[in-house]
Amino acid sequence: KKIKVKNTLKVLTDSAKVIRKISSAKFISITGSSGKTSLKELLAFSLNKLSPTAFSKNSFNNKYGVPLSLMNLKKFHNFGVFEVGMDKAGEINNLTKIIQPELAVITNISYAHIKNFNNLSEIASAKAEIMNNILPGGTIVLNKDDKYFRFLEKKAIRKKLNIISFSKNKISSNIYIKKIFDYNSKIKILLKVNKTEKLFIINKNLKSYIENILASICVISQYFELSKIDEKIFLNFKIPSARGNLYKIKIKKMTIHLIDESYNSNPLSLKFAIENFNNYKTKERKILILGNMLELGKFSKKLHRNVSKVINRSEINKVYVIGKDIKETFYGLSKSKKGKILRNKNEIYELIKRDLNNNDHLMIKGSNSTGLQQIVSNIKKGKIHAL
């Protein structure tokens, strides 16, 4: 069936607003500079174990994606988890007018999409727009480890919102980590939740998801009694594609361990990825291929150069770059870590075939439009022949 209208986006948005109005589900919005999609996936996965939950697919977080996500909400859903993105001021305010969440989460504040802003404070203000449309008496979940926590907390207080904070180690937060320890092939996380303790068991590959786990627990605690939540609620979660997934790739007689971080890149997500890569336990070499971080505007040169400082502190052995902006990272590397500036994707394939050793670990990361995701896909399929 087809219906002709003057403005398709307006009809889509108005339809989504009607669905929001008649739905009895609890609505949750997530924004932040990094980790929005990963948190949305983890939270939806865990909430769905407790009650039927709808959530935005992929990164459906703009003026089209948000109303489309609401259109997928069904009558039987008790929760809706929606990601909200932006690249300029005012967008989050407009999107959350549609969602009208009871609860919202701000993951962190960083330089992602800063090309349309003058500084980080302006980004923090834009992310804080999510608070404008939280329903009266609603809740905001904030990262107490983020340097803009106090700035966001003040805004939340003025709006008379309930504030739930999480932290890796700050005991003044509502939820923080008391202890982490290995448990066979798993990890046990002992949390302090207000005045009580709660244990969770996760797979080791989720160790880099600690902040997302803390944020998810903050949300879950507002709707369910944590003492009754299964300690293995996060155990079977599968990391979304291209966000740190580990693959064992056979190339002729050689095996390489590929860490796929090719889904987008910004200064904070790249820093996290490098630190996680550095923590991989291996006696073999760690090789890094980096593409440009985009949408950084006038800050691009400085932010790319700053990445080299993180790499120089790490145990990563060699770094190769492809792209104009990422050359600044290469120039700032210590001599021993400099691999090569690559000119095209064929040189990536040749590098893998000729310069990697058996059991080397290789991580690839860059912004979406660099094309690195397709290159990684080809590597996983064994299609590394020069064109």
Q: pLDDT tens across 120-155, in order?
A: 999 999 999 999 999 999 999 999 999 999 999 999
pLDDT of the residue at 91:
97
Between 271 and 251, residue with greater pLDDT: 271
> By the 8 A CB rule, do 380 and 305 touch?
no
Q: How far apart are CA 303 and CA 325, in angstroms?
A: 10
- Of 367, 328, 295, 329, whose CA–CA distance to 112 is shortest? 295
| Proportion of the chain above pLDDT 70, given as a percent | 99
Per-residue pLDDT for 384 more than 70?
A: no
> What tokens were used for 344?
């095209």
Reported as a pLDDT band with limits 50, 70 and 90, residue 303 is: very high
pLDDT of the residue at 242:
83
Between 195 and 31, residue with greater pLDDT: 31
- Of 367, 245, 212, whose CA–CA distance to 296 is shortest? 367
pLDDT of the residue at 51:
98
pLDDT tens for 311-320 read 999 999 999 9
Per-residue pLDDT for 184 more than 60?
A: yes
pLDDT of the residue at 232:
96
pTM of the model: 0.91
Per-residue pLDDT for 10 more than 60?
A: yes
pLDDT of the residue at 385:
58
pLDDT of the residue at 387:
42
